[in-house]
Amino acid sequence: MRRVGNDVVDLEDPAIAQTHLRERFVARVCCESERARVAGSSDPKLLLWSLFAAKEAAFKALSKSGPLVFAHRRFVVAEDLRSVSYLKQVLWLRVDVHGSCVHAVAWTDDEPPIFGVEKLEPGVDASAAARALLIQRLGGGGLTIAREPQPGSWNGYGPPKLFRDGVEVNLDISLSHDGRFVGFAADSSGAEKR
Amino acid sequence: MEQNEVMGKVVDILRPFVKNPSALTGISMDTSILKDLKVNSARLVDIVLEIEDAFGIAVTDEAADQVKTVGDAVSLILKTKA
Q: What is the pLDDT of residues B41-77, one digit of tens each?
A: 999 999 999 999 999 999 999 999 999 999 999 999 9
Q: Which residues of B touch A (CB under 8 A)?
A: 32, 34-35, 40-43, 45-46, 48-49, 61-62, 64-65, 68
> What residues contact residue A125 under an 8 Å CB cut-off, 6+ apart?
none
DSSP letter (8 states) at residue A4? E
Contacts of A152 in chain B (CB under 8 A): 68
Domain A4-186, what architecture? Alpha-Beta Complex (3.90)
Start-to-end Cα distance in chain A: 13
> What mean pLDDT comes out for the span A152-164?
83
Query: What ipTM did this prediction achieve?
Result: 0.91
* Cβ–Cβ < 8 Å for A83, A93: yes
Residue A99's SS3 state is coil
What does the pLDDT read at residue A194?
38
Domains and CATH numbers, chain B: 3-81 (1.10.1200.10)
Encoded amino acid at A58, one letter: A
Flag whether pLDDT at A157 surpasses 90: no
